[in-house]
Amino acid sequence: MPSRIAHALPLRWHLVRLVVGTLLPAIAFAAIVVFQLARLERRSVERRAVTSARALAAAFEREMSGSIQTLHALAESEELDRGDLESFRVECERVRRTQSSWKTVLLLSPDGQLLVNTALPVSHSPPPLAEQGSFARILESHRPTVGSLAVGRGAAKQLAFPVRVPVLREGALRYVLTAVITPDALTGVVSSQSSHEEEWTRVLVDPQGRVVARTRDPERFVGRSATSLFLERTRASHEGVFASVSMDGTSTYVAFSRSQPSGWTAAIVTPRWVLDAPVTSSMFAVGGLGFALLLVSASGAWIFSRRLERSISEAATASASLAEGHSPRMAPSSVRELAQLGEALERSGLLLRERERERDAHLASAETARAEAVAATRAKDAFLAMLGHELRNPLAPIVTSLELLRRRGLAQTPEHEVITRQLKHVVRLVDDLLDVSRITRGQMSLHREPLELVSVVARAVEAASPLIEQRRHSLQVDVPPSGLLVLADPDRLTQVVANLLTNAAKYTPPGGHIQLRAHDQEGGIALVVEDNGHGVPQEILSRIFEPFVQGPRSLDRSEGGLGIGLALVRSLVEAHGGHVEARSDGPGRGSVFTVWLPRHALAEKPLTEEERRTPVSPPVEAVPAGPVRVLVVDDNVDAAEALAELLGLSGYEVVVAHDCPGALAQAEAFRPEVAILDIGLPDVDGYGVAERIRERLGAASPVFAALTGFGQAADRARSHAAGFRQHFVKPIDVDELSAFIESLREARSGAA
């Protein structure tokens, strides 16, 4: 056995683990609190950034609103009403000089023709419009609009964006008045909103996603398109904050707000370290402090544990001495619990020696009792097996003698019927005893085949009918003629149903009612036997399927039985993969026994009752013409003589022997064609007798049939392997024996 000490940790490590386990939750809690506070601070900064972006968008809208109002005032000029465009151009130039943000003023007709351009002489050919989108919108909506940034069509190719207002007369659009504004004019807008608390970059982006104004490197980025992530996020929401990478490659957080009604976007770009710094610094602070606390606490535990380890090692040594039977000795300890442990070990040493003496005495007594119980159990099993086998020997001549009386015409009396009926009951009790013995020793075997449950029920009803009729019960059978297919041993399953019917008949007063029904249930088949008899007391209901357990019996024990029928039912049903249960409402209220069996849905068509009953005999040798000569060998003289006489009445020539020498002598003199050998002969058993007969007669050896009290599959297999053509179980079935011999006669006739 491997030692567990090699896998155990010293006390100091356990103390360190205790310290770590105690401090880690507190440190983790502190880290969570700090992290949450840092997150709140970060969210506050994000809210301020969004507020700043919203303020920047509002400032831009105010700036544009001022230009729009000025254009509206200019649109009310009387020169436009008179169509004096030259005078209107002079007025526009005057107004332009009052607006520092305007580069030029344009007047366009609804068809896009440039009528006035303050930046060009009158005779100069006007260039085409650089920004068409806002012009198309104002034609459609008749509302002021702010256009997108575009490259001018003049020689300077300067960046600018238009602010357009409609000139309406009597509800109709007469002109479109435009102020052209350069990005430099917005520098004051973005700069006036700057904050000195954080390192932020403020940006204005037009509806097409081009940067129009920027506080950082405007000459580098104005006129360029914003990043794809920026465009995706700002078009998906009106306001918000997201992580991104700026146009110059810096990791940033972007807070944005879209202005209305122009549709421009104001953005506040903040380096990530500005927002992440509080969380990072807090976590480093908590982690460093926690690590320092852990280190100090673990070092203290490590130092303190050395003293404890010495005392515990002494306690371990004392315990080892105690285990070896010596008196434990432990030095005094400054730790109260360890001092108490030392005293307890000394007291335990005294008590242990006393308990060892008591234990030795109890073990000796228990071992003796266990050996006696095992021996008694084995003796009981052996007794049951031997009792069943030995009872077959006297039953065999009795059954044979009754058959002789019947064939001689001497059995036509009520007394003979009583003897026959009671003898069948005794044979059934013996069979039950043998079955219990086989189940106890694990020797029960099943020969399964697909069959309809109704065929089993029919055989069981036939077997139980005499008792049911004797007690004048009414039996109601409700089993479908087909559709309840099971894979089962027909004989054993018949025994189950017959035992349940017999049990119901025994424990139901004369004139009672018994019902037998079967149906589908829970994917299987349920077979129910219900009666209105004595019922089962609740105190034995849970043990009713145990061997030799019986309910209250009358003084005359008219019910009979050994209390093993229901035990056989449970064992046989469970061997078939099913289960059985009993239910009763109490004495005098009847009982219900339910057997559940698995359905055999995929089995091939089952054999009919006639096919199943037809024995499949192995091929036999042809027998010469004349009466069949039969040799009967059995050490039970009565059984041998009765069987010989019965065979003689059937027209066979029969001789009898009771041991091996007699069998050999008769075989040489009589030359039998069939030899029926009792397997359990004294000195030399039936297998040895058959072998010796073959040695002496050679090819003239008879056909051998075994006669024994053992009928298990293993017994039949052994007799078949030894050359026996048939295996008969005592008491022998005379009709089955006659059929076997007649099959030899038919083979002889066919050969002839």
Domain spans of the chain, in order of start:
448-612, 615-751
CA distance 559 to 549: 14
> What is the pLDDT confidence band of residue 752, given thresholds at 50, 70 and 90?
very low
The confidence score (pLDDT) of residue 395 equals 63
CA dist list (Å): 86 to 106, 176, 323, 684:
13, 16, 123, 150
| Per-residue pLDDT at 341 exceeds 90 | no
The pLDDT tens digits of the residues spanning 443-492 come to 566 778 898 989 999 988 988 888 888 888 999 999 998 888 888 888 88
- Assigned fold of 615-751: Rossmann fold (3.40.50)
> What is the pLDDT confidence band of residue 342, given thresholds at 50, 70 and 90?
low
| Per-residue pLDDT at 198 exceeds 60 | no
The confidence score (pLDDT) of residue 306 equals 67
The confidence score (pLDDT) of residue 328 equals 67
> What is the pLDDT confidence band of residue 705, given thresholds at 50, 70 and 90?
very high
The Cβ of residue 579 has, within 10 Å, a number of other Cβ atoms equal to 13
**Which class for 493: exposed (0-12), middle (13-18), buried (19 or more C-beta within 10 A)?**
buried
Contact status, residue 174 vs residue 80, Cβ threshold 8 Å:
yes
Contact status, residue 448 vs residue 457, Cβ threshold 8 Å:
no
CA dist list (Å): 508 to 194, 421, 563, 625:
105, 20, 16, 57
The Cβ of residue 101 has, within 10 Å, a number of other Cβ atoms equal to 19
> What is the pLDDT confidence band of residue 616, given thresholds at 50, 70 and 90?
very low
The confidence score (pLDDT) of residue 295 equals 76
The confidence score (pLDDT) of residue 117 equals 86
CA dist list (Å): 319 to 222, 340, 353, 644:
86, 14, 14, 81
Which residue in 62, 323, 76 sits closest to 177, CA to CA?
Answer: 76
CA distance 425 to 423: 5
Beta-carbon contacts of residue 144 (< 8 Å; ≥ 6 apart): 68, 71, 72, 138, 163, 164, 165, 166
Residues 150-155 have a mean pLDDT of: 74
The confidence score (pLDDT) of residue 702 equals 92
Q: Which residues of 589-624 are buried (b: 16+ CB within 10 A; e: fewer)?
A: ebbbbbbbbebbeeeeebbebeeeeeeeeeebeebe
Which residue in 253, 233, 46, 65 sits closest to 145, CA to CA?
Answer: 65
The confidence score (pLDDT) of residue 415 equals 58
| Per-residue pLDDT at 558 exceeds 70 | no
Residues 2-26 have a mean pLDDT of: 65
| Per-residue pLDDT at 675 exceeds 90 | yes
Helix axes 637-649, 734-751, angle to 10 degrees: 50
Among 21-30, 156-165, 510-519, 597-606, name the one with the lowest average pLDDT: 597-606
Place of tokens 């903040």: 270
The reported pTM is 0.40
| Per-residue pLDDT at 632 exceeds 70 | yes
Average pLDDT, the chain: 78
- Which residues share a beta bridge with 210? 225
More confident residue, 496 or 40: 496
| Per-residue pLDDT at 386 exceeds 70 | no
Helix intervals (H) in 441-593? 453-470, 490-506, 538-541, 565-575
The pLDDT tens digits of the residues spanning 40-71 come to 777 887 888 888 888 888 888 888 898 899 99
CA distance 87 to 627: 156
> What is the pLDDT confidence band of residue 422, given thresholds at 50, 70 and 90?
low
Among 148-152, 691-695, 746-750, name the one with the lowest average pLDDT: 746-750
The pLDDT tens digits of the residues spanning 111-135 come to 888 888 887 776 555 667 778 888 8
More confident residue, 338 or 504: 504
Contact status, residue 407 vs residue 401, Cβ threshold 8 Å:
no
Residues 230-246 have a mean pLDDT of: 88
Expressed in angstroms, the distance from the first to the final Cα of the chain is: 78
The pLDDT tens digits of the residues spanning 710-722 come to 777 778 888 888 8
> What is the pLDDT confidence band of residue 594, given thresholds at 50, 70 and 90?
very high
Residue type present at position 66: G
Residues 3-31 have a mean pLDDT of: 67
Best mean pLDDT range from 270-279, 340-349, 670-679: 670-679
Instruction: Locate the DSSP E strands across 673-749.
Output: 674-678, 703-708, 726-729
| Per-residue pLDDT at 101 exceeds 90 | no
CA distance 459 to 277: 92
More confident residue, 317 or 183: 183
The confidence score (pLDDT) of residue 625 equals 52
Please state the φ and ψ torsions of residue 22, each to the nearest 5 degrees: -80, -45
Residue type present at position 645: E
More confident residue, 443 or 156: 156
Which residue in 553, 494, 501, 504 sits closest to 531, CA to CA?
Answer: 504
In CATH terms, 448-612 corresponds, of 3.40.30.10, 1.20.1440.230, 1.10.1060.10, 3.30.565.10, to 3.30.565.10
CA distance 302 to 555: 82
**Strand order across the 653-657 sheet:** 653-657, 629-633, 674-678, 703-708, 726-729
The confidence score (pLDDT) of residue 423 equals 61
Q: Is 574 helix (H, G, I), strand (E, B) or coil?
A: helix
| Per-residue pLDDT at 697 exceeds 70 | yes
The Cβ of residue 360 has, within 10 Å, a number of other Cβ atoms equal to 10
User: Could you give the percent of the chain with pLDDT greater than 90?
Assistant: 13
SS3 content of the chain, % helix, strand, coil (to 5): 50, 20, 30
Among 183-187, 328-332, 713-717, name the one with the lowest average pLDDT: 328-332
Which DSSP helix (H) or strand (E) runs through 151? Answer: strand 150-151
CA dist list (Å): 682 to 29, 275, 633, 694, 718:
90, 106, 11, 19, 19
